[in-house]
Amino acid sequence: MEREVIMTRAIRGAICAENTTTSILANTKTLLGTILETNSLHLSQIISITFTCTKDLDAIYPAVAARDMGLVQTSLMCVAEMDVAGAMQGLIRVQVLAEMDMPQNDVRHIYLGEAEALRPDLIKDGAS
């Protein structure tokens, strides 16, 4: 019997938010939901998620949104984004590590709204 090969894959993404609890939670859920749907992921496949936020976003941790979505056994970490002069503000970035059976090249990275400008090279088929 041939065994299915499952590997750890990294999925990147970003979205902008306003510095309110409602905006940070809603936009984080939108980003994570789009990552899950686009990559056909189930919550049980997610190993860990690292969130970064620009310094102007401090109303709530984005990880709270992930917990609200059911990611209660997943390792979640929130860290401050490096503060680079002139960089986009109001930004939540994410790196999801997941068990997947697809090549890294086939993984769909998700950059939504204004954040699409960050990585146009990762947007496939004209859409993120």
Among candidate residues 93, 99, 108, 114, the one labeled active-site is: 93
Bridge-partner residues for 95, per DSSP? 12, 50
Could you give the strand order of the β-sheet that contains 46-53, starting from the edge strand earlier in sequence?
Answer: 75-80, 46-53, 91-100, 7-16, 110-111
Among candidate residues 16, 53, 61, 81, the one labeled active-site is: 81
User: Among 79, 108, 87, 92, which residue's Cα sits nearest to residue 10?
Assistant: 108
* Residue 12 appears among annotated catalytic residues: yes
DSSP 3-state of 111: strand
Within a 13 Å sphere around the CA of 80, how many CA atoms are in the beta-carbon half? Answer: 7
For residues 53 and 57, give the distance between their C-alpha atoms in angstroms, rounded to a whole number.
Answer: 6
* Residue 78 appears among annotated catalytic residues: yes
Among candidate residues 61, 78, 99, 116, the one labeled active-site is: 78
How many helices, marked H, and strands, marked E, lie in the chain?
2, 5
Among candidate residues 16, 67, 99, 114, the one labeled active-site is: 67
* Residue 3 appears among annotated catalytic residues: no
* Active site members: 12, 67, 78, 81, 93, 111, 119
